[in-house]
Amino acid sequence: MRIVIAPDSFKESLTALEVASAIEKGMQKILPEASFVKIPMADGGEGTVQSLVDATGGKIIPKTVTGPLGEQVEAFFGISGDEKTAVIEMAAASGLHHVPVEQRNPLITTTRGTGELISAALDYGVDHIIIGIGGSATNDGGAGMARALGIKLLDENGLEIGEGGGSLGSISSIDMKHIDQRLSSVKIEVACDVDNPLTGPTGASAIFGPQKGATPEMVKFLDQSLHHFARIISKDLEKDIEHVSGAGAAGGLGGGLLAFLSAELKRGVEIVLDATRLEEQARDADLVITGEGKIDGQTIFGKTPIGVAKTAKKHNVPVIAIAGNVASDSHVVHEYGIDAVFSIVPGIIPLSEAFEKASEYVERVSTNIASVIKLSSRS
C-alpha cells in the first residue's frame, strides 16, 4: 500500500513536516509493509517557507534586512533542495509583528526589507521565486520593495521620495533603468489569497489599513496616495493595476509586484501544490492523508486540505483529513473531495495540553485510522 501524507502545519504546535512524521509513525505500527511519502504542505501564509524547504530538502537562510520602521530586523528566506527556487514570506521582513502596537503607522512603514530578501535570493542564482504576502505592516504599494531592487521613484524635482505610504502622493515619475537585471530571467509567483483591488472601499487602505494603525483620516489619505501611485505606474510603465483582483494585498504590495516585477498572483495552495509536485506522487497512491489545525466551513476557501483533495481526486484516490479542531460545519468538505475527517483531540482538554501533546495525538489517531484500513482489507 502506498500512502501519501500531505498536511499543512498545526499552527502554534507542529510544522507540516512534524505532522506528517507523526502520521507516518502512527500508521506504521499497523501497516509496517506500507510505503509512505511525506510532502509538507502550506497555503502561502505563515509556514510556507518551512514547508517548502522541508518538502524539497532545502535550507533556511537567515538575513538581516530593513524592517517596517527602517530599523534592522532578523528575517529569513528559503532555498529549495535543487537551489532553483527561493521562497519568501514578506512578513519575515515587513510583517506587522515587527511593529509594536503603539508605533503602527502605515504612513511611514516600508516594504524595503522584502525587496532586500528578493535581492538576497537572487544571489543564489535561482530562476524561480515564490513570495507569500500575508501579514504586512505596510501600505506603500510595494514602493520600498521596488527601491531596494534599484527602481527610482522620483518627485517633480527628480529626487527620490521618502519611505512609506504617506510619500506615494509625491511621485512624479518612475525610473526603471537601474533595476536589478537578474530579475529579467526569474519567474516570480505571488501567493495571494485575497481579492481586494488596490484602491476604493474594498481596497488596501480601507480594508487593511486600520489594523496597521490607520485612522479614518489616514485611510482616506492613503487611498488617495495609492490612486496617484497607480496613475503614475499606468503613465510610465503602461500597466493598469488599480482594479486588478489581489493588487490590494499586503498594503498594495500585490500591485507593486505586478507592476515592477511582472509577477503572477496565484492562490497560495496552488503554488505550493505545483512546487511540491504533489500530483506526481498522488497519481499512484492508494490513499492520501492531509490535515491542518482546524477544519470547518472556511476550509473550502483555498485551504490546504481542499487543494490536496482536489489533486488526489483527479486520480480517484481516497482522501482522509485530520485536524486538531473539527467544527460542526466541517461536513461541507465532503463535497470537495475529502472522504473522512478525524479530530486528534481525545476529549475536552485545555488548549495548552492540545498544543503540547499534538504530536502524540496525531500519532494516536493515525494508528486508529490504519487499524480501520487493515480491518477493511480483510472483508
Question: Distance (Å, rounded) from C-alpha 89 to C-alpha 228?
Answer: 27
C-alpha cell at position 257: 509586484
Q: How many CA atoms lie within 13 A of 357 on its CB side?
A: 14
φ/ψ of residue 359, rounded to 5: -60, -45
What 3-state DSSP class applies to 136?
A: strand
Question: Distance (Å, rounded) from C-alpha 359 to C-alpha 86?
Answer: 29
Amino acid letter, residue 315? H
pLDDT tens, position by position, for the chain (379 residues)? 999 999 999 988 999 999 999 999 999 999 999 999 999 999 888 889 999 999 999 999 999 999 999 999 999 999 999 999 999 999 999 999 999 999 999 999 999 999 999 999 999 999 999 999 989 999 999 999 999 999 999 999 999 999 999 999 999 999 999 999 999 999 999 999 889 999 999 999 999 999 999 999 999 999 999 999 999 999 999 999 999 999 999 999 999 999 999 999 999 999 999 999 999 999 999 999 999 999 999 999 889 999 999 999 999 999 999 999 999 999 999 999 999 999 999 888 888 888 899 999 999 999 999 999 999 887 6
Q: How far is CA 234 from CA 106, 142, 160, 173, in A?
A: 23, 15, 19, 11
Question: Distance (Å, rounded) from C-alpha 180 to C-alpha 123?
Answer: 11
Spell out the domains of the chain, with CATH numbers in brackets.
2-40+278-378 (3.40.50.10350), 48-268 (3.90.1510.10)
Predicted TM-score (pTM) of this structure: 0.90
> Taking the alpha carbons of 195, 198, 201, 206 in that order, is the dihedral positive or negative?
positive
C-alpha cell at position 162: 521618502
C-alpha cell at position 247: 493588487
Q: How many CA atoms lie within 13 A of 4 on its CB side?
A: 26
C-alpha cell at position 113: 526589507
Question: Distance (Å, rounded) from C-alpha 18 to C-alpha 34?
Answer: 19
